[in-house]
Amino acid sequence: GQNIDQPTEMTATEGAIVQINCTYQTSGFNGLFWYQQHAGEAPTFLSYNVLDGLEEKGRFSSFLSRSKGYSYLLLKELQMKDSASYLCAVRDPNDYKLSFGAGTTVTVRA
């Protein structure tokens, strides 16, 4: 079975940093994805980790520890447009299906 946990909601101030944690217990692992989803829109791909460590892409970074079943997405220099839901997803190595967490809604306040 797949069990992927994320906090439901987070609030932060414009210009600040927010870290969204994701823990997973899955029957297999072939990479972890982060997606961003604005209200009423489709999810869009943000980042991918398959090896331990930090991947940086502009204001967004994603970290993975496979031994701990743990990842985080770090959003720096928060902007109002970063208010969205952030979805953590683990890929199955056998059939490449994704299992998603329930998502974390981030609200950025002025």
Partner 1 sequence: DAGITQSPRHKVTETGTPVTLRCHQTENHRYMYWYRQDPGHGLRLIHYSYGVKDTDKGEVSDGYSVSRSKTEDFLLTLESATSSQTSVYFCAISAGDRYNEQFFGPGTRLTVL
* Nearer to partner 1 among residue 62 and residue 77 (C-beta): 62
Residue pair 107/23 in contact (Cβ under 8 Å)? The answer is no
Q: How far is the CB of 101 from partner 1 (least distance, A)?
A: 6
Stretch that binds partner 1, among 12-20, 21-29, 75-83, 93-101 (CB under 8 A): 93-101
C-alpha angle with apex 45: 40 to 47, nearest 5 degrees? Answer: 140
Residue 48 touches partner 1, criterion: CB under 8 A: yes
Q: How far is the CB of 15 from partner 1 (least distance, A)?
A: 29
Closest Cα to residue 48, out of 62, 67, 65?
62
Contact pick of 69, 72, 90, 101 for partner 1 (by CB under 8 A): 101
Beta bridge partners of 86: 36, 104
Residue 31 touches partner 1, criterion: CB under 8 A: yes
Residue pair 103/20 in contact (Cβ under 8 Å)? The answer is no
